[in-house]
Amino acid sequence: MHQMNVNQTKPAKAPKRILIANRGEIALRVIRACRSMGWISIAVYSEEDRDAMHTLMADQCICIGPAQSSKSYRNIRAILAAAEVSHADAIHPGYGFLSENAEFAKAVEDHKFIFIGPSAQHIELMGNKIGAKSAIKSLGLKTIPGVDSPLSGIEEAKSIAAEIGYPVMIKASAGGGGKGMRIAMAESELVSAYTEAAGEAKRLFGDEEVYIEKYINNPRHIEFQILCDGKGKAIHLGERECSIQRRNQKIWEEAPSIVLAESERLKYGKLICQAMSKLQYKGVGTLEFLYDNGELYFMEMNTRIQVEHTVTERITGIDLIKWQMRVAFDEELTLNQEDVKINGHAIECRINMEDPATFQPCPGKILQHVTPGGPYVRIDTALYPDYKVPSHYDSLGSKLIVWGEDRATCIMNVRQALHEYVILGPNTLIPLFKRLADNEDVISGNLSIKWLDQNLPMINAAPYN
């Protein structure tokens, strides 16, 4: 299973060969897309992942190093070497790891492989929050009030904060995932917010540059999915709402948003597509916004496939991974905006292997794994009985995606699916999701990005069915 003939030659008319520089459920998702297209999938794995599901399902697999991601899944040399010996045509980065690393994208292209994603230039542009904000603003989208350049020091921060008004947020320029961010409610808190944000940015991202923007107190999180061909054609596939978050980490995502009117969807979707067309962007991407008082404020852009792309697929019937790969190979984007139809409502629950009260990761052996069924349920997972969840990687174990003809029906179907879903062994977030599906605020859509953090003790104390 784990052996391959590195001396094999690639037939002249061989199917496309895709190396997947990732692991877990997203690697499986790409493998399935390859198989449905008649393409060959090549998995890479760390020594810790020798028995992981993606190594068992891929057409070929290659060990690229020890358990530490810095020596395996983040090891650019090892991944390129695996691509060379397996005669890969292209490399799919998945999400996380090297998926938004401009150096990796450029190295892939320099070694004559196709990078299944945007250009290194676009990754670099959008990976710098200041540069992304400036670029998006110049393309006609509204951004959060603040500055479009790094702060020179605390005195400049004080001056700008006085101008735009408190509260303000100090944010890492190279940050992401809710890291390198601090809030100052008043000037007395600004020095510590600046120092802590810059220090965390230096420690996590190797770049201590920070910027400042107005802190929007209680917004919702709404994001638009785009698909572009790199030649000026850009379409959007509607929006997702990701307002249920734990410390800026999404756990419950749904599409469409219940607060965005059809007229707003058309307005913002058109502006976003115009912006991406001007950029000549290629591949999939997600523009994330804060929604407050009927306005969308650009926050950041992710230049990769999102964990929550599944809910968009469920309500549109469009396979984002297939199209991501097709446009990477310069196939014509035959989808037009009028082809995108939103049907019903979909919700994704991220079944993390974590304690539902403390959110501490819970690695360990899966004793039993019984998934829910029915016509409205999709499970994206790499779990199986006797599999040992490792401690070295992200704690996401499974994604439960549920559809309904409307949001109320979808939530009812979520309850049923969670009732059927059994994972014995490590703790998971299933009990938390059962409580969320019964919660009146969730049912009514009375949500914001701060809602879960503010209500977690009450939610954890509630019974569930």
The single residue listed with the structure tokens 């490399």 is 91
Determine whether 304 is an active site residue: yes
Measured between alpha carbons, how far is 155 from 91 in angstroms, rounded to an integer? 45
The single residue listed with the structure tokens 């469920």 is 314
Based on the number of CB atoms within 10 Å of its own CB, is 441 exposed (0-12), middle (13-18) or buried (19 or more)?
middle
Measured between alpha carbons, how far is 89 from 103 in angstroms, rounded to an integer? 19
Measured between alpha carbons, how far is 350 from 397 in angstroms, rounded to an integer? 8
Tokens of 7: 């001396």
**Three-state SS for 283?**
strand
CA angle, 443 then 447 then 451, to 5°: 115
Measured between alpha carbons, how far is 51 from 104 in angstroms, rounded to an integer? 26
Measured between alpha carbons, how far is 440 from 431 in angstroms, rounded to an integer? 16
| Catalytic site residue from 29, 304, 326, 378 | 304
Measured between alpha carbons, how far is 296 from 268 in angstroms, rounded to an integer? 8
Give the ranges where 284-388 is alpha helix by DSSP (H). 309-316, 320-328
Measured between alpha carbons, how far is 45 from 275 in angstroms, rounded to an integer? 37
The single residue listed with the structure tokens 């509204």 is 142
The region, left, alpha or beta by phi > 0 then psi within -120 to 50, assigned to residue 133 is alpha
Calculate the alpha carbon distances from 253 to 161, 242, 433, 442 in Å: 33, 5, 12, 12
Measured between alpha carbons, how far is 354 from 369 in angstroms, rounded to an integer? 16
The region, left, alpha or beta by phi > 0 then psi within -120 to 50, assigned to residue 97 is left
Please identify every residue annotated as catalytic: 304
